[in-house]
A = this chain, B = another copy of it.
């Protein structure tokens, strides 16, 4: 709890390389009995073709599966690079310590009986964690399936999975061991291969962040698949994933995130607090991290498949070549639905197609080579379409019809992909009839095929968006000048006085110190002071009650708008004090009334922050009033924001159009909103004491006219 969220773990990814490529592995709890986990691990290491030394450890067996057993750790001739533990939970800690004494630094703890059982198990896990930290060890698990590396130099199946998967370009990490079993079985059925396959269980030490880094640096891994139930740290996840999905060796990350957080407590003191906590927050984090969020295992592999070919499309302009009309229409629909563009052909392409296609075919996109097409017609169509400079990627659909020479067409598709320099995705519809083509593309060209055009197109769309994301630079937000020390002093004063919710006047001081434009305002302690302050700033004014315990000013009659002269202000003052005392009790602590210049009308927006233990500060943006409260139309991002993320955040609310200006209104000052979000990001990053915060409303004016903080609330964390 005392860990500072927001700081990525600093384990160097090189540190885990030995875990994935140990020269020797000891198995503690190795067993002679078939069907036990201790037997399965040794068996898997042998049958998987592990290239290093296997050392079973068991005091009661001379040999296991033909390999001489050591009775205990001390008896091993040399310390193994990796120790796999399948012992009862109670003796795991002790065994790890002994191995560490002998010099081993890497462990896979398969044993269950830790945090997942609560009570004593949880304490055991905490002790194991402390041991790992103290001794500088790397521990995978406990309560996991193990780890697999298919690299030909290693060939390690240090797990109790039923068998070694095929080698391939997918790296997978999973919090659920049982899911791993099912995934291996499923992937086998669909012919997918893996580079590394890691079940990380309770993550006592090695987290999903560490494993993401390890897969990122593995040259065999082309795409990273993950299943996770809870993230260890939101900010570290965002930062790590952003780094992995950018740069020369960018890799896509596809994630299934399950286990929704409970709805934010209804009693949360701020809007943001009550709106956050929903699953949409995870969506936002994944978006910010550049991670593709996936709903199901089937979709996971469907999408992963497209990344087996590392070539990224240059744009969204998609061409379709098909030998059947219906599937062409399905592909077109999916193309539009998933935000791709149907390519418009250049004149030379159309001419070439017209010359070569039969008159009943279609020479516009989708190109229909019609049902009797053989491979030569496919080749002509593909040559024309792939040379078109207005085409970024191509989907080729083959339905098995009477004349269709599937194998020859597959050959043409494979050759086209090799020479054309653009992504070409084959969709061979059906299962049995097209299978020779599927096999040829797989074995000869390393290409994977889709069964139906909708799935292919969805995957192409994901790849396009990944290509765009990975090309967009990651820019740090600019740094704004701010009086950080003044805000610290203010927070000290408030905390010292035992006040954790700042009254509006003090909250506004904080925003002024961070360079926000804040509505002119002054705290008046008497009716006369109120009238004088109003005279000074000019009418009309707004009056708001001010007191450290008054949270909902409007509800207690503590807000008056549009007061147009000193008399009205004086009257309002008395009335307001009376109303508040009546509603909240005569002894309510009233500091006075905040007199504020009435602002010209603008678009009401809300900025908010809530701080989560794992995510750190979570920023919220929305339009004010009903849009936020009733329609929950808000967007979230984690602080610190990068430069362009603020703009994205503003654009991603559903009612964004209202800020662009509708019905003849001028567009709103979006730059001012984005800047406000960036300033807010800096404020909450520099002041971890801010627990929750609302700016409600931030009034936004027409383009170039800025945005003004009209009211704000800040809640500080209690000292811990």
Contact = CB atoms under 8 A, between A and B. Distances in A.
A626 interface: yes
Interface stretch (A63-71, A264-272, A320-328): A320-328
Interface in A128-182: 160, 162, 174-179, 181-182
A589 interface: no
A398 B256 CA distance: 20
Number of identical protomers:
2
A216 to B, nearest CB: 24
Nearest to A302: B298
B258 A329 contact: yes
Interface string A464-485: 0000000000000000000000
A193 interface: no
B452 A185 contact: no
Interface string A643-668: 00000000000110110001100000
A177 B176 CA distance: 43
Contacts of A626: 657-658, 662-663
A258 B330 contact: yes
B229 A329 contact: yes
Nearest to A39: B402
A186 interface: yes
A128 to B, nearest CB: 18
B454 A295 contact: yes
Given A360-B117, A630-B662, A185 B433 contact: yes
A696 to B, nearest CB: 13
A189 to B, nearest CB: 3
Interface residues of A, number: 73
A185 B333 contact: no
Interface string A436-466: 0000000000000001101100000000000
A326 B229 contact: yes
A40 interface: yes
A451 B182 CA distance: 9
A575 interface: no
A242 interface: no
A259 interface: yes
A395 to B, nearest CB: 14
A23 to B, nearest CB: 29
Contact of A333 (B175, B258, B336, B401): B258
Contacts of A400: 162, 181-182, 185
Contacts of A11: none
Contacts of A432: 185, 188-189
A115 to B, nearest CB: 12
A641 interface: no
Interface of A: 35-37, 40, 116-117, 160, 162, 174-179, 181-186, 188-190, 227, 229, 256, 258-260, 295-298, 323-327, 329-330, 332-334, 336-337, 360, 371, 399-403, 429-434, 451-452, 454-455, 625-626, 629-631, 654-655, 657-658, 662-663
10 contacts: A116-B360, A174-B326, A179-B429, A181-B429, A182-B400, A188-B431, A190-B431, A631-B654, A631-B655, A631-B657
The 4 closest A-B pairs by CB, nearest first: A176-B326, A178-B324, A185-B430, A189-B431
Given A258-B329, A295-B454, 7 more contacts: A40-B402, A117-B360, A176-B329, A182-B452, A184-B430, A258-B332, A631-B657
